[in-house]
């Protein structure tokens, strides 16, 4: 039996590209990963409660991170579906789930689109638990279909994300890990984009005075995802607004090209942390601007402006928006162009992909243990809407 299986495996590896289109290969890999995930969770988290707050019944796991695990859950009272993030309680540190809860409470608002809503937080058994909106596939999931997005889609995504990042900064926070696995779509073919995973976010302004934190190198521990994080993060420095914006540009280049110059192709499908950190840093420090933006030259103006920002300088978000609009050559899209965007961002069936799976994948380790539950700086209301089309 083993002999026949080996023959089948070898033959399959040779002819799979002829028999199975990328769509089927992609979902076959997803099913295997999901089975392995369920097996690992059953081994490592045998003490996970069956219910949270007495009303949320845990279903299958959606993702397993270094600190937290996300489960699909059903409210047994109203039968609504949610995502629940669990992390084992610790006496030594504040959990990333608790940190994320306090940050989301500062960010969530009825006028803000693209920030996940928190429905409940507390301790259940020996776990910190947070109940969130269930979201759709991540940009990383969607890229599995065709490898890269149409430029129209990239600029649409960029405008939404820039508005959301602007709002996060207006509340005094830096996200610190803007990358495809942390950017999720809404459910039901929605074109609304959500930024998730705030467990490693930090404040760049003093919560009482509103003063910008001074530049300093904190540690040698890298925060965020190496492929998309800024050079300052590689060097262990405190992060500011310009660092999030640099990560955003790297993300847009990645969506345009399907890769980044410092990502080795054989590591791309396995995640973003397999290429040596030092090699990525060296590549970011030495690559010419024109080479980095070779396949997306219209993003070069945006990158040049962001690279010129100082650590404590407040970016001109309106100017960056104008650069993105110039990159897309127009501010209003035709019906055909909207269909192109929908095709890129709505291809995946949310029942087959892992919703909300990105929220705790490779979470950044908390840089500060102190959690501020109030923040005085920033506006009390802020509307984040798509500058290109209404969805």
Scored b (16 or more CB within 10 A) or e, 143-165 reads bbbeebbbbbbbbbbbbbbbbbb
In the structure, how many helices (H) and strands (E) does the chain have? 13, 10
- pLDDT, tens digit only, all 391 positions of the chain: 444 444 434 444 444 444 445 544 544 455 544 444 444 444 445 578 899 999 999 999 988 777 889 999 999 999 999 999 999 998 878 899 999 999 999 998 877 889 999 999 999 989 999 999 999 989 998 887 778 888 889 989 999 999 999 999 999 999 999 999 999 998 877 889 999 999 889 999 888 888 888 887 766 666 788 999 998 888 888 899 999 999 999 999 999 999 999 986 644 545 555 457 888 988 999 998 888 888 887 789 999 999 999 999 999 999 999 988 776 654 466 666 677 777 787 754 444 444 333 333 333 444 433 333 333 333 333 444 433 333 3
Contact between 348 and 140 under an 8 Å Cβ cutoff? The reply is: no
The whole-number pLDDT of residue 275 equals 54
Q: What angle do CA 278, 279, 282 make, to 5 degrees?
A: 85
Q: Where are the domains of the chain?
A: 25-133, 139-360
User: Of 102, 83, 119, 114, which is closest to residue 185 (Cα–Cα)?
Assistant: 114
Residue 30 phi, psi dihedral angles, 5° rounding:
-65, -40
Q: CA 117, CA 101: separation in Å to the nearest integer?
A: 10
Main-chain dihedrals φ then ψ at residue 127, nearest 5 degrees: -125, 145
Catalytic hit among 177, 243, 244, 354:
177
Q: Is 352 annotated in the active site?
A: no
Domain 25-133 fold is Phosphorylase Kinase; domain 1 (3.30.200)
Report the CATH superfamily, name and number, of domain 139-360.
Answer: Transferase(Phosphotransferase) domain 1 (1.10.510.10)
311 DSSP 8-state letter: T
Pair 128, 120: CB distance under 8 Å: no
List strand residue ranges (DSSP E) for the chain, in order.
Answer: 51-52, 56-64, 68-75, 81-88, 118-124, 127-133, 173-174, 183-185, 193-195, 202-203
Helix axes 151-170, 241-257, angle to 10 degrees: 170
Q: What angle do CA 295, 296, 298 make, to 5 degrees?
A: 145
Burial class (CB in 10 A: 0-12, 13-18, 19+), 199: buried
Q: What is the pLDDT of residue 191?
A: 86
């Amino acid at each position: 039996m083993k002999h026949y299986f080996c023959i089948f495996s070898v033959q399959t590896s040779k002819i799979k590209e002829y028999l199975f289109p990328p769509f089927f290969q992609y979902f076959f890999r997803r099913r295997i990963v999901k089975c392995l995930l369920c097996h690992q969770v059953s081994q490592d988290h045998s003490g996970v409660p069956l219910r949270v707050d007495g009303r949320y019944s845990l279903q299958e796991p959606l993702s397993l991170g270094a600190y937290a695990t996300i489960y699909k859950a059903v409210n047994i009272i109203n039968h609504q579906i949610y995502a629940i993030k669990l992390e084992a309680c610790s006496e030594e540190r504040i959990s990333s789930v608790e940190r994320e809860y306090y940050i989301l409470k500062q960010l969530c608002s009825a006028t803000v689109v693209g920030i996940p809503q928190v429905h409940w937080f507390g301790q259940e058994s020996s776990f910190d638990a947070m109940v969130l909106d269930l979201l759709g596939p991540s940009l990383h999931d969607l890229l599995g279909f065709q490898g890269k997005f149409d430029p129209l889609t990239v600029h649409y995504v960029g405008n939404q994300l820039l508005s959301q990042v602007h709002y996060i900064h207006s509340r005094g926070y830096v996200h610190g890990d803007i990358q495809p696995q942390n950017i999720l779509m809404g459910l039901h073919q929605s074109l609304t984009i959500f930024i998730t995973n705030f467990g490693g976010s930090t404040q760049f302004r003093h919560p009482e005075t509103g003063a910008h934190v001074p530049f300093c190198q904190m540690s040698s521990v890298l925060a965020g995802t190496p492929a998309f994080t800024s050079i300052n993060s590689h060097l262990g420095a405190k992060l500011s607004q310009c660092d999030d914006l640099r990560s955003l540009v790297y993300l847009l280049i990645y969506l345009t090209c399907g890769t980044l110059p410092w990502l080795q192709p054989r590591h791309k499908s396995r995640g973003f942390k397999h290429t040596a950190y030092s090699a990525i840093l060296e590549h970011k420090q030495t690559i010419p601007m024109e080479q980095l933006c070779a396949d997306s030259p219209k993003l070069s103006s945006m990158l040049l402006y962001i690279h010129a920002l100082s650590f404590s300088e407040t970016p001109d978000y309106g100017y960056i928006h104008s650069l993105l609009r110039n990159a897309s050559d127009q501010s209003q899209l035709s019906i055909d162009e909207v269909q192109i965007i929908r095709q890129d961002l709505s291809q995946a069936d949310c029942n087959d992909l892992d919703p909300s799976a990105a929220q705790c994948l490779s979470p950044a380790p908390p840089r500060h243990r102190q959690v501020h539950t109030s923040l005085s700086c920033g506006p009390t209301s802020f509307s984040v809407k798509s500058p290109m089309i209404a969805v």
